[in-house]
Amino acid sequence: MSESNEKSTSRREFLKNTGRLAATSAVVAGIAPRIHAAGSSTVNVALIGCGGRGTGAAANALSVNNGPTKLVAMGDVFEQRLKSSYANLKKEHADKMDVPEDRRFVGFDAYKKAMDCLRPGDVAIFATPPAFRWVHFTYAIKKNLNVFMEKPVTVDGPTSRRMFKLGKQADAKNLKVGVGLMSRHQRSLEQLYKRIRDGEIGDIILQRGYRMHGPLGFFSSLPKPPGISDLMYQIQRFHSFLWASGGNFSDFNIHIIDHQCWMKNAWPVKAHAVGGRHYRQSPEGVTYVDQNFDTYSVEYTFADGSKFFMDGRCILGCHEIYSSAAHGSKGMAIVSKSGDCGMPSSTYKGQNPTDANMIWESKVKPAERSPYQNEWNDLMDAIRNDKPYNETENGVQTSLVTSMGRMAAHTGQEITYDQILNSDHEMAPGLDKLTADSPAPLRSDSKGRYPVPQPGIVKDREYRDFA
């Protein structure tokens, strides 16, 4: 399909086609060759992206409850990050690690070298900044590898279209793909979803989500210091740069957006939003140069007219809220009591969540209280028992809807699903050819400042590159 034809894809046509894919995925899985770790009961794992989330994912992979796993290769562009990850994993999982120095790879080709250490049917973990997902996923499919990829999986329209196609290729090869949207594996939310579908709170007419706390991660960045290239600085501080991560809005808020769309059993068709940069200087008076807003408030609209409001804030000293709720025509639900998908979930008569109004509260077995471990147990069960399992489509949909809200805030325009899906603004093209000597996807001015969103001025994309 040509790029021009891709751009003409309507939302109706897209949903029709993906519906057909969902209906036929079981058939495809049944006729495709079975992919498994041949010749051994042990499933080998390679970790690509050795930061905190990648290290956590590897620990979960080595802690599955349904068969032996072994970490055999690691890769990152930062040597110190790889060393730290290896040391931390070694403390708890030394007996499940076989990663000699010649299987610890550093550089922009480390992902290929790490995956080359695996056999067809083994598992590659992708926990680099999400801009690189399509690059790594392409190689994994070529190598017939199962995949676990962290969220988000895309940051713009062009890479979303690419990832949808790659997901279909993975299906055709009967590969199993997990995406780190762990809310879908939180047992309390699974219970709540069934109750909502059974009509316990009536039709959902309003949803609310909040992630409001102080700065964390690489939310803000000062001008690039000496001794590091612009490219490596932007990858190192990926939360600060839209091309690398979708910024703090995408990376921080995607879990709540995902589970609220799940509860609604639908995807929003449009969004409008507000946001702004309020406190953009360090305590020393140096201006931050990242691309993030400090506050975001997005109103998503579903096809039935119902609304979902997502509020995000990264400012010290403000009231903190980190939870989600859904309001129905007969009652309401606390979806996540605290955090991205924190237990317990609960339902209530009316719209006031008091103990007297409570209808139900979730109960989860102690062994299933970690959604991070649940998603790995579920993935490995699918691999070992050859069950249909491909979360790519949902991962891309959630990433795209999240980007739709972010783009609405950054442009000051109402953004539809069609617009974000068919946008021609690929923030970082050519990442499959990137080397350490490549220029950074985002250029700074003479004062080390990067372009920031300008709502109402730049309306067709989230920022304009400096000339």
User: What are the extents of the domains in the chain?
Assistant: 3-184+372-390, 186-366+401-419
- Mean pLDDT over 66-77 rounds to 97
| 301, β-bridge pairs | 270, 307
Whether 414 shows a pLDDT value over 90: the answer reads yes
Radius of gyration of the chain (CA): 22
pLDDT score recorded for residue 281:
87
Strands 204-213 and 270-276: unpaired
Joined tokens for residue 50: 């050795």
- Which comes out higher in pLDDT, residue 120 or 27? 120
Chain mean pLDDT for the chain: 92
Whether 417 shows a pLDDT value over 70: the answer reads yes
Whether 21 shows a pLDDT value over 60: the answer reads no
pLDDT score recorded for residue 446:
87
Confidence of residue 466 (pLDDT cuts 50, 70, 90): confident
The CATH superfamily holding the domain 3-184+372-390 is NAD(P)-binding Rossmann-like Domain (3.40.50.720)
Confidence of residue 23 (pLDDT cuts 50, 70, 90): very low
pLDDT score recorded for residue 90:
97
Largest Cα separation within the chain, whole Å, is 64
Whether 3 shows a pLDDT value over 50: the answer reads no
* Other Cβ atoms within 10 Å of 28 Cβ, number: 16
DSSP string, 189-207: HHHHHHHHHTTTT-SEEEE
- Mean pLDDT over 93-107 rounds to 98
What is the percentage of the chain residues whose pLDDT exceeds 90?
A: 88
Whether 17 shows a pLDDT value over 80: the answer reads no
Architecture of the domain made up of 186-366+401-419: 2-Layer Sandwich (3.30)
pLDDT score recorded for residue 367:
95
- Mean pLDDT over 442-464 rounds to 94
pTM here is 0.91
Asked if 217 and 239 touch (Cβ cutoff 8 Å), the reply is: yes
CA distance 26 to 266: 22
Whether 24 shows a pLDDT value over 90: the answer reads no
- Report the Cα 294 to chain-centroid distance in Å: 20
- The DSSP element (H or E) to which 44 belongs, if any, is strand 43-48
pLDDT score recorded for residue 283:
86
